[in-house]
Amino acid sequence: MTYGFVRLYRRDWTPEQVLRRVDSLAATGMVLGYPRTGRITALSGEWETAGEQIEMTREALLAAMAGLGEKRFTFQYWLTDTEEEASVICTLGRVGADVVVEDYGLDGFGGPVYRIGQNTVIRRILAEFRATGPAAVGLIVDRWGESKAIDLDDIVTGGPTAMTVVPELLVLQPEIARRHPELRSLVPFDGFLACDTDGILALAQ
């Protein structure tokens, strides 16, 4: 098992954009409803019940996604194109006044072929990042989760946090990327600069 993740940072998180995201991912086979039953579930973030499934209607879940407050909201997507029943845990949260982070977990895509499983998720989120257009702020792919030890939200939004752990892919606005000399071999990517130590951008082709 890995504890990796993909984080997509964006502005303009409106109900219309929430629906666009959900429908766009569904078109690729990453859906809200459990494939066998259609059951839609959020995950509790309360200390006493952390991680427990909470059944919701599609309308209620979309409303919760769009109506983020100070607390983060966690729910499940399901992949319909894998042999085993695979879920992707997504946590939404606000970063400052106008940025939302979509955190897609890579947990469970382990074993000797972990990259194959991870790439089924990473490829989708790379496409979503590109489709986000001018509202996109940044993107991170960390296959093992090692960079969770630092404040990535602060780095992506231009804060002073030092980049002491570099994830496999970090896509930043050019003016922010240039503040981090520890990021070597930056390459252009859709108006951003990317540090790609694992060839992950090839999945966007």
Whether the pLDDT of residue 85 is over 70: the answer is yes
111: confidence class by pLDDT, cuts 50, 70, 90: very low
- The span from the CA of 136 to the CA of 100, in Å, is 10
Q: What are phi and psi of 95, to 5 degrees?
A: -120, 105
State the maximum Cα–Cα separation within the chain, in Å, rounded to a whole number.
Answer: 50
What type of residue sits at position 151? Answer: D
Whether the pLDDT of residue 115 is over 90: the answer is no
Average of per-residue pLDDT across 122-146: 96
Q: Looking at residue 198, what is its pLDDT?
A: 93
Whether the pLDDT of residue 1 is over 70: the answer is no
Residue 24 host element (H or E): helix 15-27
Percent of the chain at pLDDT above 70?
Answer: 91
Q: What are phi and psi of 122, to 5 degrees?
A: -60, -45
Q: Looking at residue 86, what is its pLDDT?
A: 84
Average of per-residue pLDDT across 135-154: 95
Average of per-residue pLDDT across 192-198: 96
Tokens of 35: 């494939």
The whole-chain average pLDDT of the chain stands at 91
Average of per-residue pLDDT across 89-94: 97
Q: How far is CA 81 from CA 78, 84, 118, in A?
A: 9, 9, 13
What type of residue sits at position 20? Answer: R
Whether the pLDDT of residue 112 is over 50: the answer is no
Global confidence as pTM: 0.93
Q: Looking at residue 205, what is its pLDDT?
A: 81
Other Cβ atoms closer than 10 A to 203? 17
DSSP 38-81: --EEEE--SGGGTT-EEEE-HHHHHHHHHT--SS-EEEEEEESS
Tokens of 132: 């986000």
Whether the pLDDT of residue 138 is over 80: the answer is yes
Q: Looking at residue 117, what is its pLDDT?
A: 79
Through-space distance between the first and last CA atoms of the chain, rounded to whole angstroms: 27
SS3 label, residue 3: coil
Whether the pLDDT of residue 47 is over 90: the answer is no
Number of H helices, E strands in the chain: 5, 11
Q: Looking at residue 60, what is its pLDDT?
A: 97
Q: Over the stretch 149-181, which tens digit does the pLDDT of each residue have?
A: 999 999 999 999 999 999 999 999 999 999 999
- Closest among 89, 51, 92 to 72, alpha carbons compared: 92
